[in-house]
Structure 1
Amino acid sequence: MPEATICAVATPPGRGGIGVIRLSGPDTAEIAEAVAGPLPPAREAAWRRFRGPDGETLDEGLLLWFPGPRSFTGEDVAEFQGHGGPIVMDRLLQRLLRLGAILAGPGEFSQRAFLNGRMDLTRAEAIADLIEAGSEAAARAAVRSLQGEFARTVDQLIDRLTALRVHLEAGIDFAEEPLEGLALDELSRQIEALDADLAETRRRASQGQQLQEGLTLVIAGRPNAGKSSLLNALAGRDAAIVTELAGTTRDVLHAHLHIDGMPLRVLDTAGLRDGGDLVEQEGVRRARQAMADADRILLVVEDSADRDPGVQDEMESIRRELPADIPVTPVINKIDLTRRPAGSDGGVVAVSALTGAGLETLRSHIRGRLDLSDGEAVFIARRRHLQSLDRAEVSLTEARTAAAEGMGEELVAESLRQAQEHLGEISGAVTTEDLLGKIFATFCIGK
């Protein structure tokens, strides 16, 4: 257990009606009593004057006392809830520091809660994700993870892996005893069922990761197709400069928006063409890099007077230049000039960025491709969670192959052990100091 007593302001910087300072550690009771007098009953708020070393009143407000281990961190914790002025808060904080407390680092309260067994890593990370949630859907998913849904799902997979390992390893250790083991076909069936449930968990976690980080849409096409106008129309503001001159956009421009609760990062890129000056060539290079990293590409072409033949030819020509593994939504723009009907036809969306015709159809099309139809079932997740799930899936596949091909119970058991270890990385049952440092460094101070 950490020896130092830590303190930090737990409310955002600036002026506010209420300011909260947290104190946690072995000297909490002594320090709190020196500042505010007798401690109130556990988990009850009491009005107190917060005093300096000479008895001067620094502030007045509520004092709360949470004796460990029944506290957020598992240690003795006190909260001073006073007025939210920066000077008032700083004077009280300096008083706590002079009495022997030290400033908490980012996420140190949550880290102590994890180290003291008050929560696993998925719940600790869900705290930060809830604070950082950029949409209602992300906040709901973070709450589900905070309440332990993600951890329970992973723990159930680990329990099933453990049961399989017990059967296998008992048969290996006591080969001469008449123990009843699993038949190979039954073993393969159970591993296959585990693999299917792991894949479903991975799918739900992937959706949660998308909710947390958002998806990247790249708008691509030839110069003057109306890409910047489309970006402005989707964003609802002038995020990009729009002129009639080809090559106006020289760099990758960003705009953030939400579609039905999904955060999206929409990138406008330089028009794809050969030639141009050095600056435009660099813009095209960056456009191609952005497309390679995208979750989806909006391929924008300008509508033509002769309609489909010219449009389709241009689309096919540009598509050959796009990354083959990135999904594409074809968009015909400037239909106000040709009177083409707005809407979707065969996966091609016709819009006018100038008049707004077809934009709702485009938004619906994008929403339908985000794979969040069962958003109420997702839980918030991070890239490290997905990586651990992927590694576990590889190990399960190896176990299933070893069982099916009769490669020996030892190899099956080892692959199952590796899968269990990878899943343990998610909750923190298997972890390293370096990983903890990276995780909690992303938290805000005071949490």
Structure 2
Amino acid sequence: MLPQHADPIVAIATAPGRGAVGIVRVSGKGLAPFVRALIGREPRPREATYGPWRAADGQAIDHGLSLWFPAPHSYTGEDVLELQGHGGPVVLQLLLARCLEVAQTALPGLRLARAGEFTERAFLNDKLDLAQAEAVADLIDASTEAAARSAARSLAGAFSQRVHALRDALIHLRMLVEATLDFPEEEIDFLQKADAEGQLQRLRSALAQLQAEARQGALLRDGLQVVIAGQPNAGKSSLLNALAGAELAIVTPIAGTTRDVVQQTIQIEGVPLHVTDTAGLRDSPEVDEVERIGIERAWQRIHGADAVLFLHDLTRWREPRYRVGDANILRGLPEGVPVLHVWNKVDQAGDELPRGDSDIVLSAKHGTGLDALRQRLLQLAGWQSGSEGLFMARERHLRALARVGEHLEQAQGLLTRAADQLDLLAEELRLAQHALGEITGEFTADDLLGVIFSRFCIGK
């Protein structure tokens, strides 16, 4: 444990601003003398004690509840004191200052907590593994009900249990391979008798299932970046307004009305979709400097998108100039980014519609076809409807699971010629276990911990 992790820490644990209740939290070793000095007595463990917190001159700063959690029965695994008072920012700052003042004699070394340091200590003291610790921040940041429920499942250990089950099976297979390496003179073929190949196949199948569920969890957490692109007056702003159910973007028949990007997060079946309306894409002498900048920003968003809604105008699709404009946009779209062709203004079009089998026809003005578009967006995102019991996952978890898959694939090839490749097989299995352990923090570099916990809020 690094030296700074032994320091007692204090912070305001509630969000900035005014509220009905505010919390100041203290964590460290041997807090009992500090608690007695601050509130005049040592409260009973895990029971709320009401009373005043007094300044050095004896005047009450505030009245509230003191909660005392002796180690190891606390959030951090250390002694923890929580002071729950009124949520005014001035009152909380006075209470925080009083804690630091009392600590000068009763708790030397008390300092302000860094972002995420309380949860970091919970991880370091084995109260949470790393995936559970990350779920704390994910639960706070959840933007949909489904995301909050998935984060709560991860916090309860659902994701970690799946990872541990995979790890245990991997360790068992490693044990067999290592035993064969240690006793090469034995006539019994340990690997064949123990069905090592079957074990490895089951490992890979379990990993594939875990990867699929983790991708769903990552989608709930991060959502999908969707950019609406097209020529001016195709109805991009109208489509954004229709999807959001609010008048977010200005809509006029004047070409070039949208000059900058407008973004709104919507949710479909609990999946957050970050939808961006952009300036109409055109190459015309009528484009002024402001619109030109808007077009540049539109292309920047398009190149950073997870999916592009290419919006076409059904009232103009027969015009040669309009077709050329659409063709130019299509050539500029980035490779590898899914493109969904959406034909707008079906309420004004004739019977003949220029659409492919996977295209969507709708009316942003009247809402026709919006449900079909929402379902196609979920398909583009890779969402499996009706998924239950999902846990939250992050991009780093997906990368770690991908590395596990790569090592198991290498191990599969080596197992077929195990007689002279056992040492390499054992190493691939070890690397797979190491990658798996990065998810829960069994094998994690200190710099990665710093990045993860620095993104938490102060007091958590």
The one of 287, 292, 295 aligned to 2:298: 287
Aligned to 1:432: 445
Letter aligned with residue 194 of structure 1: L
Aligned to 1:352: 363
Query: Counterparts of 2:358 and 2:320 in 1: how far apart (Å)?
Result: 17
**TM-score (norm. length: structure 1):** 0.91
**Does the C-alpha gap of structure 1 residues 184 and 298 become closer, same or farther in structure 2, counting only changes over 3 Å?**
farther
Query: Counterparts of 1:380 and 1:308 in 2: how far apart (Å)?
Result: 48
Counterpart mapping for 1:256-271 below 5 A: 256-271=265-280
Structure 1 SS opposite 2:400: helix
Between 147-156 and 406-415, report the one with greater CA deviation: 406-415
Query: Counterparts of 2:197 and 2:326 in 1: how far apart (Å)?
Result: 47
Which runs of no fewer than 5 residues in structure 2 stay unpaired?
A: 104-109
8 Å contact from structure 1 (residues 37, 48) kept in 2: no
Aligned to 1:442: 455
The number of residue pairs the alignment matches comes to 446
The one of 338, 357, 362 aligned to 2:373: 362
Query: Counterparts of 1:128 and 1:244 in 2: how far apart (Å)?
Result: 44
Aligned to 1:325: 336
Between 27-36 and 286-295, report the one with greater CA deviation: 286-295
Q: Does 1:402 align with 2:414?
A: yes
Q: Does 1:86 align with 2:94?
A: no
RMSD, aligned CA? 2.8
Identity, in percent, stands at 47
8 Å contact from structure 1 (residues 228, 241) kept in 2: yes
Q: Does 1:46 align with 2:49?
A: yes
Structure 1 SS opposite 2:276: strand
Aligned to 1:64: 67
8 Å contact from structure 1 (residues 425, 431) kept in 2: yes
**Does the C-alpha gap of structure 1 residues 149 and 340 become closer, same or farther in structure 2, counting only changes over 3 Å?**
farther
Q: Does 1:301 align with 2:304?
A: no
Q: What is the Cα deviation at residue 321 of structure 1?
A: 4.3
Structure 1 SS opposite 2:272: strand
Q: What is the Cα deviation at residue 284 of structure 1?
A: 4.4
Q: What is the Cα deviation at residue 308 of structure 1?
A: 13
**Does the C-alpha gap of structure 1 residues 340 and 405 become closer, same or farther in structure 2, counting only changes over 3 Å?**
farther
The one of 5, 13, 17 aligned to 1:14: 17
Between 122-131 and 43-52, report the one with greater CA deviation: 43-52
Aligned to 1:372: 384
The one of 412, 420, 435 aligned to 1:422: 435
8 Å contact from structure 1 (residues 204, 377) kept in 2: no
Which runs of no fewer than 5 residues in structure 1 stay unpaired?
A: none
Letter aligned with residue 26 of structure 1: K
8 Å contact from structure 2 (residues 65, 83) kept in 1: yes
Aligned to 1:3: 6
Aligned to 2:141: 132
Aligned to 1:160: 169
8 Å contact from structure 2 (residues 343, 362) kept in 1: yes
Q: What is the Cα deviation at residue 324 of structure 1?
A: 3.9
Q: What is the Cα deviation at residue 309 of structure 1?
A: 12
Query: Counterparts of 1:322 and 1:200 in 2: how far apart (Å)?
Result: 33
**Does the C-alpha gap of structure 1 residues 25 and 111 become closer, same or farther in structure 2, counting only changes over 3 Å?**
same
Query: Counterparts of 1:254 and 1:113 in 2: how far apart (Å)?
Result: 37
**Does the C-alpha gap of structure 1 residues 44 and 178 become closer, same or farther in structure 2, counting only changes over 3 Å?**
farther
Query: Counterparts of 2:15 and 2:176 in 1: how far apart (Å)?
Result: 53
